[in-house]
Amino acid sequence: MRVGGKTAIVTGARRGIGRAIALALAREGANVVVGDIGREDCQKVVDEIKGLGRRGLALKCDVSSTDDVEDMVRRTVAEFGRVDILVNNAGIISYKPFLELTDEDWDKTLNVNLKGQFLCARAAARDMVKNKWGRIINIASISSGGCGIAFPLIAHYTASKGGVVALTEALALELTPQGINVNAICPGAIDTDMAKGVKESGQLAQVLTRIPKGRLGQPEEIARLVVFLASEESDYMSGSAIVIDGGWLTT
Ligand code: NAP
């Protein structure tokens, strides 16, 4: 068991990549809190976690709400005694030309994708420092500028994910000396509801020509990387942004 006996919180875990991460961590021995803005279906994931012989807890949590996030961490500690692993996975995307982006588009995306990760990391790390051990894993994107690339129609999303990579480095600097490793994962195109837009727009074939692997990634492939970063195997890693994209960034 690579994370046996640990307690993990995974946000946005009722479907998609978050669900795969929650189940992978449970398979490797962790008890898992399944947090999501919609509580329906969270319980189904918890039932699957219980089927793997672990404990789970379904919590309604809008990651952009300070109250919800602090309540999620408080209830996790009340139920399991501590927080060991936080996976900041919840995220949203929308598509619009830059010149048509509204203040609301910008604020909503930044509040969920970036402020949400800040709020969850702050609340969880306040518990982790007491135990001098923790893992914070932030889900960013190859669409994050810097080491990644920019795509049209998602300036707000790209800015939020670039912020996630920068936040990861800043947190690693402050928290690593206190026993908390902080890393980011930058996925390429992963086969979830979020990738539906690409499929429905008829652009999938064209996108695949740019991915040397010739296919979309699967949520479970991201989950395996999360398990590695959550485990002792990655003890010397902190402050990294790891690209997992089937080779897309080489093209
Ligand atoms: P997804 O299928 O759309 O799932 C996102 C999950 O986040 C949903 O369960 C959603 O809840 C939840 N969520 C949305 N807003 C929330 C909020 N304010 N508070 C709590 N939960 C919230 O997306 P995904 O593809 O699994 O993506 C997961 C993460 O990977 C995201 O951060 C995304 O940006 C990143 N990513 C995805 C891809 C990709 O190609 N799929 C590529 C790069 C990065 P509801 O179901 O209730 O809406």
The full set of domain ranges for the chain reads: 7-250
Q: How far is the CA of 177 from the centre of ligand 1 (A)?
A: 30
At 49, the pLDDT band (50, 70, 90 cuts) reads very high
Mean pLDDT, residues 74-85: 98
The pLDDT of residue 149: 84
Question: What amino acid positions are annotated as catalytic residues?
Answer: 157
Residues 6+ apart with CB under 8 A from 170: none
Q: What is the pLDDT of residue 51?
A: 98
Tokens of 73: 């961490």
Lowest mean pLDDT among 76-85, 187-196, 233-242: 187-196
Measured in Å, how far apart are the chain's first and last C-alpha atoms? 37
Is 13's pLDDT higher than 90?
A: yes
As a whole number of angstroms, the distance between CA 102 and CA 104 comes to 5
Q: What is the mean pLDDT of residues 198-223?
A: 92
Lowest mean pLDDT segment, chosen from 17-31, 79-93, 143-157: 143-157
Top-tier CATH class for 7-250:
alpha beta
For ligand 1, mutation pick of 37, 63, 73 (most atoms within 8 Å of CB): 37
Which stretch of 75-79, 148-152, 189-193 has the lowest confidence by average pLDDT? 148-152
The whole-model pTM stands at 0.98
Grade residue 79 by pLDDT with cuts at 50, 70 and 90: very high
Q: Which residues contact 251 (CB under 8 A, 6 or more apart)?
A: 210, 211, 212
Return the pLDDT at 87: 99
Distance 93 CA to ligand 1 centre (A): 8
CA of 16 relative to ligand 1 center, distance in Å: 7
Distance separating alpha carbons of residues 240 and 148, to the nearest angstrom: 13
